[in-house]
């Protein structure tokens, strides 16, 4: 419920926009989960060695640099906005520019990772795979918040957000970093041993 007087038409458009965002998030979560499962099925069915395995490893590292590098930059920018050291418009603009890099890198990671003969019977690999799925779904769950942030004035601060929006942002930022670092550390440990 809003305390700001709006016309019925405007209120209806807002509800329709929120419903379309929810439908988009659900569809993307389903698509991401299916893509993740396909990657696992390929990993279980295909064995690579020699040059193909080496190329897949190189592509995997490049995908990691691409997506995680963009994530670090965007999360750092959001953190600076939280501290009041950046404008919201800067943060949103960087997020929009980095989004294709992040999702493209994640797609590369899923595709190349399925060709690296992951140790699917290992509990550490299970943790890594769960972290990857959670970080993908976490990124999708940021869509509604980012759509709300775009509608705020460019000078809006973290304090201007509702408590729920603040919690949403902090939880997503924390979960993102936790899942990325978990997947990276386990990936390197599995690659070495």
The pLDDT value recorded for residue 6 is: 47
pLDDT of residue 10: 60
Cβ partners under 8 Å of residue 150, min gap 6: 92
Quick: pLDDT tens for 134-147. Answer: 999 999 999 999 99
Q: How many CB atoms lie within 10 A of CB 47?
A: 10
Residue 17 pLDDT level (bands cut at 50, 70, 90): confident
Question: Contact at 8 Å (CB) between 104 and 64?
Answer: no
Direct distance between the N- and C-terminal alpha carbons of the chain, in angstroms, rounded to an integer: 56
How is residue 1 annotated by DSSP? -
Is pLDDT above 80 for 76? Answer: yes
Above 90 in pLDDT, residue 5?
no
Average pLDDT, the chain: 90
3-state SS assignment for residue 122: coil
Instruction: Quickly tell me which residue has 């509604």 as its tokens.
Output: 144
How confident is residue 3, by pLDDT bands cut at 50, 70 and 90?
very low
What DSSP designation does 84 have?
Answer: T
**Residue 4: its pLDDT value, please?**
42
- What single-letter DSSP state applies at residue 158? G
* Tens-digit pLDDT profile for residues 124-134: 999 999 999 99
- pTM score > 0.85 for this model? yes
Cβ atoms of residues 169 and 145 within 8 Å:
yes
Percent of the chain with pLDDT over 70: 91
Cα dist from 2 to 7, 30, 56, whole Å:
11, 31, 52
Split at pLDDT 50, 70, 90, the class of 92 is very high
- Average pLDDT for residues 63-85, to the nearest whole number? 94
């Amino acid at each position: 419920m809003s305390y700001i007087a709006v016309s019925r038409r405007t209120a209806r458009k807002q509800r329709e926009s929120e419903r379309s965002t929810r439908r988009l998030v659900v569809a993307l979560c389903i698509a991401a989960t299916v893509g993740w499962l396909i990657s696992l099925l390929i990993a279980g069915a295909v064995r690579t060695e020699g040059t193909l395995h080496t190329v897949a490893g190189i592509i995997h590292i490049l995908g990691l640099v691409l997506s995680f590098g963009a994530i670090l930059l965007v999360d750092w920018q959001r953190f600076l906005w939280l501290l009041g050291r950046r404008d919201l418009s800067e943060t949103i603009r960087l997020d929009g520019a980095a989004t294709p890099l992040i999702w493209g890198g994640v797609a590369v990671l899923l595709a190349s990772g399925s060709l690296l003969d992951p140790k699917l019977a290992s509990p550490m690999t299970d943790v890594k795979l769960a972290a990857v799925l959670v970080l993908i779904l976490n990124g999708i769950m940021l869509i509604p918040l980012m759509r709300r942030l775009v509608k705020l004035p460019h000078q809006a601060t973290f304090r201007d957000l509702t408590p729920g929006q603040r919690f949403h942002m902090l939880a997503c930022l924390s979960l993102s970093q936790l899942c990325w670092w978990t997947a990276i550390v386990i990936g390197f440990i599995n690659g070495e041993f």
